[in-house]
Amino acid sequence: MACSCNNKPSSLVPAELQQELSDPNHPANLICELCRLFYDLNWVTGTGGGISIRDVEGPNPNLVYIAPSGVQKERIQPWEMFVVDLPDTIVRTPNECPKELTKSYKYKPSACTPLFVSCYTLRDAGACIHTHSQNAVMITILLEHEKEFVINHVEQIKALPRLEYNESTKKVEKVGSMENYEKLVIPIIENTPHEEDLTETLEEAIRNYPGTSAVLVRRHGIYVWGETIWKAKVYNEALDYLLELAVKMKLAGISTVRE
Ligand SMILES: CSCCC(=O)C(=O)COP(=O)(O)O
Ligand SMILES: [Zn+2]
């Protein structure tokens, strides 16, 4: 017998993993599926970028699945995931898996881990996606001296959530969707030599922009989060569309903001 998602004999997969691997909607399987999809979009090529998903349907919604660092994201297998109990306790690593299933090196969790954790703890996100999309990189180069990307009057803006701070719950919550004519504002932070060193400025941007569901990293990429992995995927797709459009508008000498 083989696992539903691959050709490995199930006898090699530890019993505790077998049940989750048989569920195509389990975070470990979804990360693999979406990494392949995002690879084809040029969002996670050359080991860059990544996805993490919170197990909101499982018995412990504070468990977060995260891919290992420095691996070809489109080739990850579900048992190669790290599992973090929020905020920072690693409760499972692929290094514990049978050697027949894993690579010979020692796995490390994604360098994006502290940034993903910031999105979970500050925004109660259900999933966070980091891409190296060239549209994200190019817009930050075109906006070299700007701290924000701003666009309005485009239909696709309606795919993004309207977020507001709720005084009673003390949380930023979705209260609807944006209108096409509204200004979408995404903060831009400066890149650092090591991904994990972005954590402080990412957190600052999240706090300063309660209405945002994404942060651009100059000459690097974008972090996008959502209530669920499917919302995060839609927000990512809509943002990437808008970023691509904005690059074309800028290169054509057209402002992305219509007053
Ligand atoms: C060429 S990728 C450099 C690291 C990076 O920016 C990234 O997003 C991937 O980090 P990971 O540790 O998940 O491989
Ligand atoms: Zn990156």
Q: What is the pLDDT of residues 146-200, one digit of tens each?
A: 999 999 999 999 999 999 999 999 999 999 999 999 999 999 999 999 999 999 9
- The finding on whether 195 has its CB within 6 A of some atom of ligand 1 is yes
Q: Is it the case that residue 97 has pLDDT exceeding 70? A: yes
pLDDT category of residue 1 using cuts at 50, 70 and 90: very low
Please give the Cα distance from 152 to 257 (Å, whole number). Answer: 5
Query: What is the C-alpha to C-alpha distance for residues 130 and 199, in angstroms, rounded to an integer?
Result: 13
Question: What structural domains and CATH numbers belong to the chain?
Answer: 1-110 (3.40.225.10), 133-259 (3.40.225.10)
pLDDT of residue 9: 55
Average pLDDT, the chain: 94
Task: Find out whether the beta carbon of 69 lies less than 6 Å from any atom of ligand 1.
Answer: yes
- What is the tens place of the pLDDT at every residue in 220-238? 999 999 999 999 999 999 9
Matching residue, tokens 């070299």: 144
Q: Is the pLDDT of residue 5 over 50?
A: no
User: Which atom in ligand 1 lies closest to the alpha carbon of residue 48?
Assistant: 2
Task: Note the pTM of the prediction, 2 decimals.
Answer: 0.95
Which residue's entry shows tokens 């050709």? 7
Q: Distance from the CA of 46 to the center of ligand 1, in angstroms? A: 9
CB 127 within 8 A of CB 54: yes
Nearest Cα residue to atom 13 of ligand 1 = 110
Residues classed as catalytic: 155
In angstroms, what is the span from residue 123 Cα to ligand 2's centroid?
20
- Compute CA distances 19 → 4, 10, 14, whole Å: 10, 10, 10
- Assess whether the C-beta atom of 110 lies below 6 angstroms from ligand 1: yes
Annotated binding site for Zn(2+): 130, 132, 220
Relative to the CA of 220, which ligand 1 atom is closest?
Answer: 6
Query: E strands within the chain?
Result: 50-54, 63-66, 82-85, 89-92, 127-131, 148-151, 161-166, 171-177, 184-189, 214-217, 221-226
Residue 21 in contact with residue 13, Cβ under 8 Å? yes
Q: 134-144 pLDDT, tens per residue?
A: 999 999 999 99
Confidence of residue 103 (pLDDT cuts 50, 70, 90): confident
Residue 221: nearest ligand to its CA? 2
Under 8 Å CB-to-CB from 121, ≥6 apart: which residues? 86, 87
Predicted pLDDT at 8? 60
92 contacts 176 by C-beta, under 8 angstroms: no
The closest residue, in CA terms, to atom 1 on ligand 1 is 48
Return the pLDDT at 10.
Answer: 63
Ligand nearest to the CA of 70: 1
Assess whether the previous peptide bond of 210 is cis (omega < 30° from 0): no
Yes or no: say if 235 and 226 are a contact pair by the CB < 8 Å rule.
yes
Task: Say yes or no: CB of residue 196 within 6 Å of ligand 1.
Answer: no
The ipTM is 0.98
